[in-house]
């Protein structure tokens, strides 16, 4: 299977609906896109006059074979692109934009984001210290990713403020609770 890239796309296949000024009154919609293609979709939409946004934030990653985690810029909402267009434009946008899978819906209705919420997202993304945290939920399984307990799996029992969590690990028929930095734990 040949991979599609932005360089191989013919401008003729990208026939977008005209960006009407009325779209300013429309709420934002959320497009579900292929993983790691958020910025490509954002660029394609913007190049064709459709306002689009992929908020970026810092994420801690540990390069293979290294002990120290590094901060890299990644989408705050992986696999999603926020776009500002009218309801009637959804089908042509989905058909004409490579890497776009669907419009996010709740039941039969599009997930609509009011302008005030988008303003908050833009403000949040502009902060220098914004980070994307995994959805940690008390009672759900987690795995320690980095450090001396790397690889251990357990149940999240408590979230202590913004920086620490308590993970309950069962070993040899006994449970042990350990306080771990939040950045070292990922949900399973």
Residues 6+ away with beta carbon under 8 Å from 18 = 49
Rounded Cα–Cα distance for residues 118 and 39 (Å): 17
Is pLDDT at 118 greater than 70 in this prediction?
A: yes
Degrees (nearest 5) of the Cα angle 87, 92, 96?
140
Rounded Cα–Cα distance for residues 78 and 107 (Å): 21
State the Cα torsion 85-90-96-100 to the nearest 10°: 90
Rounded Cα–Cα distance for residues 84 and 26 (Å): 7
pLDDT at 21: 45
Domains of the chain as residue ranges with CATH: 11-126 (3.30.70.940), 141-187 (2.30.30.30)
Is pLDDT at 6 greater than 50 in this prediction?
A: no
Lowest mean pLDDT among 39-43, 77-81, 87-91, 167-171: 167-171
pLDDT at 167: 64
pLDDT at 98: 94
Is pLDDT at 171 greater than 60 in this prediction?
A: no
What average pLDDT does the structure give for the chain? 75
The number of C-alpha atoms within 13 Å of 146 and in the hemisphere containing its C-beta is 15
pTM across the whole model: 0.61
């Amino acid at each position: 299977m040949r991979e599609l890239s932005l360089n191989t796309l013919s401008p003729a296949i990208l026939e977008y609906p005209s960006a009407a000024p009325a779209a300013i009154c429309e709420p934002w919609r959320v497009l579900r896109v292929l993983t790691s293609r958020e910025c490509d979709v954002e660029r394609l939409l913007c190049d064709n006059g459709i306002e689009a946004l992929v908020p970026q934030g810092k994420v801690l990653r540990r390069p293979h074979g290294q002990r120290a985690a590094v901060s890299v810029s990644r989408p705050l909402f992986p696999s999603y692109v926020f776009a500002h267009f009218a309801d009637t434009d959804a089908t042509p946008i989905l058909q004409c934009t490579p890497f776009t899978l669907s419009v996010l819906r709740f039941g039969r209705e599009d997930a609509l984001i009011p302008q005030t919420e988008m303003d908050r997202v833009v403000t949040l993304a502009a902060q220098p210290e914004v980070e994307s945290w995994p959805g940690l939920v008390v009672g759900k399984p987690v795995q320690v990713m980095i450090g001396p307990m790397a690889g251990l799996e357990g149940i999240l029992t408590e979230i202590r403020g913004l920086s620490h969590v308590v993970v309950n690990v069962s070993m040899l028929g006994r449970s042990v609770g350990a306080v771990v930095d939040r950045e070292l734990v990922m949900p399973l």
